[in-house]
């Protein structure tokens, strides 16, 4: 590595984190190195700009969180989102069946959904898979917004074989085993309150589609509004909201199932869905890149362009700092 490239590498290391740079020392180098005055002055300005940019971006992120949390990651039309869901029925059913402890492989799930039996798979598991498929078929065929009546119908389908009264709201005590001797007992269900809650969330203009879906999903899971099949019903209900708003799909990845189980148990204990909503937003929202929300990407792009422009200005003012595509220098220094 040449002497020039070592200098450049040192400069890049210096700029990697503007908050660890000793600005006073950097400014002092200007006085002790008159021949490099322009370089150190440019670096000093760049570090200050980067710090200010970081502060501004952090404030913008905080303001965005306050005004509109959980921005939609995807922008489908409702019809496109319906087709996207249908194209992924097998994966969705395969994941949702895990709520009931079904451990079939993806090929086995597909075989069962195709109407054939699989050796070694209990009848109860087969029925769970078949009913989930019917549930997904139902929500992707409905063009009207989600209602409590529709949620009842979803439960009637997916919990047909295991609920005390499929499709009816729970009228007695319920409970969820959280492991060990920990047990969560949800409140009694008031149908008018549940109806009002759903209508209020869906009508809130300050909430994104994704935020509405996650809120309804986790509210319904903890409330245990039905006799059985609450996680399955809540997940399909939430995805109905996602589909209607063209925001993609909610599907907890199986390789992170243990993390999700810990978060849902903690939510049941605390009644604070903040952590599990954020985790699901970060890990469980699925869609197509071609339908990615460009608004989320624009902030990163603007920041990147601003940084590249600053780096280019420094390089233009200081010939020893050359861009990677400079043929004279491309083999002896890292890129910006």
pLDDT tens digit sequence for 268-292:
999 999 999 999 999 999 999 888 8
Task: State the alpha helices, DSSP H only, in 159-229.
Answer: 191-203, 209-223
- Express each pLDDT in 129-151 by its tens digit: 999 999 999 999 999 999 999 99
∠ CA 237-106-279, rounded to 5° = 45
Residues 6 or more apart whose Cβ sits within 8 Å of residue 102: 125, 128, 129
What does pTM read for this prediction?
Answer: 0.70
Cβ-based neighbour number of residue 244 at 10 Å: 21
Which is higher by pLDDT, 19 or 167?
Answer: 167
Tell me the pLDDT tens digit for each residue of 139-194. Answer: 999 999 999 999 999 999 999 988 889 999 998 877 777 776 777 888 899 999 99
Domain residue ranges in the chain? 3-68+298-317, 78-291
Most confident of 263-267, 316-320, 323-327: 263-267
Residues paired with residue 292 on neighbouring β-strands, in sequence order = 74
Would you call 102 exposed, middle or buried from its count of C-beta atoms within 10 A (0-12, 13-18, 19+)? buried
Which DSSP symbol is given to 304? H
Q: What is the mean pLDDT of residues 219-242?
A: 96
Instruction: With H, G, I as helix, E, B as strand and everything else as coil, classify residue 165.
Output: coil
Task: Specify the CATH superfamily of domain 78-291.
Answer: Fido-like domain (1.10.3290.10)
Report, as an integer, the average pLDDT of 6-25. Answer: 59
Question: Residue 14's pLDDT is what?
Answer: 55
Q: For residues 41, 44, 45 and 46, what is the CA-based torsion angle, rounded to 10 degrees?
A: 120
When pLDDT is cut at 50, 70 and 90, the band that residue 336 belongs to is very low
Residue 323: per-residue pLDDT: 45
């Amino acid at each position: 590595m040449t002497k020039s490239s070592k200098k450049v590498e040192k400069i890049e290391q210096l700029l990697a984190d503007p908050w660890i740079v000793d600005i006073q020392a950097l400014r002092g180098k200007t006085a002790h190195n008159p021949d490099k005055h322009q370089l150190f002055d440019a670096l000093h300005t760049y570090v200050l700009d980067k710090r200010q940019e970081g502060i501004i971006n952090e404030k913008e992120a905080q303001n965005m969180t306050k005004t509109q949390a959980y921005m939609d990651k995807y922008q489908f039309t409702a019809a496109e989102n319906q087709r996207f869901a249908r194209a992924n029925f097998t994966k969705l059913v395969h994941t949702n069946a895990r709520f009931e402890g079904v451990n079939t492989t993806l090929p086995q799930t597909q075989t069962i959904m195709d109407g054939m039996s699989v050796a070694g798979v209990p009848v109860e598991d087969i029925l769970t898979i078949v009913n989930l498929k019917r549930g997904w078929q139902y929500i992707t065929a409905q063009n009207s917004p989600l209602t409590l009546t529709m949620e009842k119908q979803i439960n009637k389908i997916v919990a047909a074989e295991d609920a005390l009264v499929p499709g009816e709201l729970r009228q007695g005590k319920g409970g969820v085993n959280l492991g060990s001797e920990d047990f969560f007992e949800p409140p009694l269900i008031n149908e008018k309150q549940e109806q009002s809650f759903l209508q209020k969330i869906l009508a809130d203009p300050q909430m994104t589609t994704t935020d509405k879906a996650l809120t309804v999903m986790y509210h319904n899971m903890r409330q245990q509004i039905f006799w059985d099949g609450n996680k399955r019903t809540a997940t399909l209900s939430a995805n109905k909201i996602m589909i209607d708003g063209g925001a993609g799909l909610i599907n907890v990845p199986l390789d992170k199932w243990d993390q999700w189980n810990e978060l849902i148990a903690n939510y049941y204990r605390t009644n604070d869905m903040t952590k599990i909503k954020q985790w699901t937003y970060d890990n469980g929202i699925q869609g197509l890149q071609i339908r990615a929300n460009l608004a989320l990407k624009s902030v990163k792009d603007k920041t990147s362009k601003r940084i590249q422009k600053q780096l280019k200005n420094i390089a233009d003012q200081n010939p020893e700092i050359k861009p990677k595509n400079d043929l004279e220098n491309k083999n002896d220094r890292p890129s910006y």
